[in-house]
Amino acid sequence: MKVKQISVFLENTTGRLAEVTKTIAEAGINLRAISIADTADFGILRMIVDKPDRAMKVLKESEFTAKLTDVIGIVLNDKPGGLLTVMEIFNRDGVNIEYLYSSLIKEDESVVIIFKVEDIEHGLGIVEKAGLEAIASF
Amino acid sequence: MIYNQKVESMKKGEMEKLQLERLKNLVHTVYEKVPFYKKKFDDAGVKPGDIRTLEDISKLPFTTKGEMRETYPYGLLACDLDNIVEIHTSSGTTGTPVVAGYTENDRSLWSEVMARCLAMTGADKTDTIQNAYGYGLFTGGLGVHHGAGPLGATVIPISSGNTKKQLQYMQDFRSTILTYTPSYSLFMAEVAGETGLDFRTLNLKAGIFGAEPWSDNMRVEIEKKLNLKAFDIYGLTEIIGPGVSCECEVQNGLHINEDFFYPEIINPETGEVLPEGEKGELVFTTLGREGTPLIRYRTRDITWLFREKCSCGRTTVKMHRLLGRNDDMLILKGVNVFPSQIENILMKIENTEPHYQIIIDRKSSHLDNVELQVEVEESFFSDETKDLEIIRKKIHNEMKQQLGISLNIKLVEPKTIERSMGKARRVIDKRDLPKAGEK
């Protein structure tokens, strides 16, 4: 299953990340995963939240440039070689990873890693065929 | 040395007689040979025969940059194309350039007026002119080049750029005169400082600077850092290129070669001719051009005219150095740019109405640093940095290709660009340039 990720454009200026966080918090939205990609001039904040549609609404009302993208959240064993299992499968079956980051969720012996792949349908097919668990929502 | 003693020291009455004679010839020629002007004269209800005194010039219609674009490429030629020996262009608001065509006589005229300008700054046959204005369609390079010929001076046609070579040649060829844009000259001084070159050890005596606005503060700095006397020169492609006017050794106002370029100052709102000493828009009528003569061309430059007994011995009318412009044209790195050009380019890339701002600064390098801030619209926002970098590069490359200058492109968040009264402030110019309000 696909997960909805929200990305927000941020200039590299003080306080902008705090603004986004505040907007999300005040709307009672909980963050489930977060990462930032940065260049010399700007950054892209990527996050998974419990209420993506509501988050999009409040971000736009606060005039942020935000966008929804489909990503895959794969449940992995939290032990050495956990990530390697997926990497080997993706490598073997030609799934191109654009980026990945870890979620804030940890239950028992497992973690959720967020993958953005070039071709999501292809990627999901491989994940399912390999018997890996892709979560639907948080 | 006065290059053309007879004309440049002419009594006012004699000059006016010469101007009137040439003006009468001009109106007959353009009426007969340029359909564009015939129609304009007819629409204004004026016939060539109506021009009996110099004051009658106010009966003639103005010519605008817009009209020069509309008649691109050859609509303003007043002679057979066979007689054109050289063409120059300059940029316009929509990318359509304006065209200046020169006959053999026009080129001689250009050489003559440029030789006069060079001589105003003290140049003669003993001088070596390092000409760093760009050679090409831009009139700067070839204008100076043509003028050095009749003067008998040595020209080094080094063209623009390559600062290290400029500094090397300056030493090796013992250049005595530099012709550059003022900002570039300061940049050179900076580079020279880094390499340990001391300008006091060079042979430079004069710098002839133009093609972009500069302030008196900048003159002081240039003279100190380059150890030379800095002169302001003025010209525009439409009229001829450089050579329209230049400062003499007194450095107080630019002597206009008024026997060939008849100046008027008008109220830019009403078109009314203003008396000498009043500030307004500079208008030129070419008295002697054969290729693309112009009637009352509106330069959009703001200045005023004055006559004084100049200790250099010249009697020609002077214009104060430019005080600004009455349109939104920017001169960035010596290139004419209209904000609307930038807007058009952005629209083609993004297919949306762009929100942008141009921030111009001259920091320690003294070169124009131009930052173009573009708001990131949802239409092209991506969750991947590489996509945004691709857009940034594309904007940079398109600007470079179409404007001919390199801008720093910065992607910014929406609504970060200040909007006042519903209209965005497109340009923030932090350069120390002469202000239109000063007098």
Please report which confidence band the pLDDT of residue B293 belongs to, taking 50, 70 and 90 as the band edges.
Answer: very high
Distance of residue B163 Cα from the nearest chain A Cα, in angstroms: 28
Report the residue of B383, B387, B417 to disrupt the A interface, i.e. the one with the largest count of A CBs within 10 Å: B383
Q: Does domain A2-68 have CATH number 3.40.710.10?
A: no
Residue B417 has pLDDT above 80, yes or no: no
Please indicate whether, in this complex, the C-beta atoms of A10 and B385 are within 8 angstroms of each other: no
Q: What's the token pair of residue B116?
A: 């006069």
The pairing of strands B206-209 and B229-236 is parallel
Q: How sure is the predictor about B336, in pLDDT bands with cuts at 50, 70 and 90?
A: confident
Kindly list the residues from chain A whose CB atom is less than 8 angstroms away from the CB atom of residue B414: 63-65
Q: How confident is the model at residue B421 (pLDDT cuts 50, 70, 90)?
A: very low
Query: B389 and chain A: CB distance < 8 Å anywhere?
Result: yes
Query: Would an 8 Å CB–CB cutoff place B194 in contact with chain A?
Result: no
On the CB side of A67, how many CA atoms lie within 13 Å of its CA?
17
Residue B362 and residue B265 share a domain: no
Structure tokens at B165: 């070579």
Residues 38-97 of A with CB under 8 A from B: 38-39, 41-42, 44, 46, 63-67, 69
Residue where a domain stops, chosen among B327, B353, B373 = B327
pLDDT in tens, B194-232: 889 999 999 999 999 987 778 888 899 899 999 999 999
Residue B438 lies in a domain: no
Q: Residue B435 falls within a domain, yes or no?
A: no
The candidate with the shortest Cα–Cα distance to A1, out of A138, A134, A120, is: A134
Decide yes or no: CATH 3.90.320.10 for domain A70-134: no
Q: Nearest C-alpha of chain B: how many angstroms from A119?
A: 14
Judged by CB atoms closer than 8 Å, whether chains meet at B385 and A16 is answered as no
Inter-chain CB proximity B384 and A37 less than 8 Å: yes
Q: How far is B331 from chain A (nearest CA, A)?
A: 26
B376, B389, B410: residue with CB nearest A9: B376
Convert the pLDDT of each residue in B36-93 to its tens digit: 999 999 999 999 999 999 999 999 999 999 999 999 999 999 999 999 999 999 865 5
Q: Within an 8 Å CB–CB cutoff, is residue B383 touching chain A? A: yes
- What token pair was written down for B372? 């173009």
Any idea what the Cα angle at residue B358 is, between residues B354 and B359, rounded to 5°? 150
The two tokens of residue B54 are 């110099």
Residue B130 in any domain: the answer is yes
Is the CB of residue A9 less than 8 Å away from at least one CB of chain B? yes
pLDDT, tens digit (0-9, with 9 covering 90-100), for A50-107: 999 999 999 999 989 999 999 999 999 999 999 999 999 999 999 999 999 999 877 7
- Domain assignment present for residue B434? The answer is no
> Which residue range(s) make up the domain with B413?
332-429
Average pLDDT, chain B: 91
SS3 B20: helix
Measured CA to CA, the distance from residue B259 to residue B265 in angstroms comes to 17
Distance, in angstroms, between A41 CA and closest chain B CA?
A: 7
- A67 contacts on B by Cβ (under 8 Å): 378, 381-383
Predicted-complex ipTM score: 0.86
Give start and end residues of each alpha helix (H) in B152-249: 163-172, 182-195, 216-226
State which H helix or E strand residue B245 sits in.
strand B241-247
Q: How far is A4 from chain B (nearest CA, A)?
A: 12
Do A65 and B413 count as a contact with CB atoms less than 8 A apart? Answer: yes
pLDDT digits (tens, 9 = 90+) for B371-411: 999 989 888 899 999 999 999 999 999 999 888 889 999 99
Residue at a domain's end among B288, B310, B327:
B327
For residue B374, list chain A residues with Cβ-Cβ distance below 8 A. Answer: none
B contacts of A96 (beta carbons < 8 Å): none
Model confidence band, residue B436 (pLDDT cutoffs 50, 70, 90): very low
Residues B294 and B413 occupy one common structural domain: no
CA dist., res. B131 & res. B138, Å (int): 13
CATH code: domain of residue B240: 3.40.50.12780
Residue B27 lies in a domain: yes
Angle at B306 between CA B304 and CA B309, to 5 degrees: 160
Smallest CA-to-CA distance from A4 within A53, A38, A45 is with: A53
The CATH number assigned to the domain holding B363 equals 3.30.300.30
Whether residues B411 and A16 touch (CB distance < 8 A) is answered with no
B291 and B196 in a single domain? The answer is yes
> Is the CB of residue A108 less than 8 Å away from at least one CB of chain B?
no
Judged by DSSP in three states, B159 sits in coil
Rounded Cα gap, residues B322 and B282, in angstroms:
10
> Which amino acid type is present at position B19?
Q
pLDDT category of residue B346 using cuts at 50, 70 and 90:
confident
Q: Which long-range contacts (CB under 8 A, 24 or more apart) does A78-82 make?
A: A78/A106, A78/A109, A78/A110, A78/A111, A79/A109, A82/A111
Domain ranges in chain A are 2-68, 70-134
Same domain, B147 and B164: yes
Distances (CA, A) of A89 to A80, A81, A111, A121, A135: 16, 13, 18, 15, 18
Domain boundary among B302, B327, B352: B327
pLDDT for position B316: 97
Cross-chain residue pair A11–B416, CB shorter than 8 Å: yes
For chain B, what is the domain count?
2
Please tell me the distance from the alpha carbon of residue B150 to that of residue B237, in angstroms, as a whole number. 21
**How far is C-alpha B107 from the geometric centre of its chain's CA atoms?**
18
Same domain, B42 and B56: yes
Judgement on whether residues B263 and B298 belong to the same structural domain of the protein: yes
Residue B387 contacts A, CB cutoff 8 Å:
no
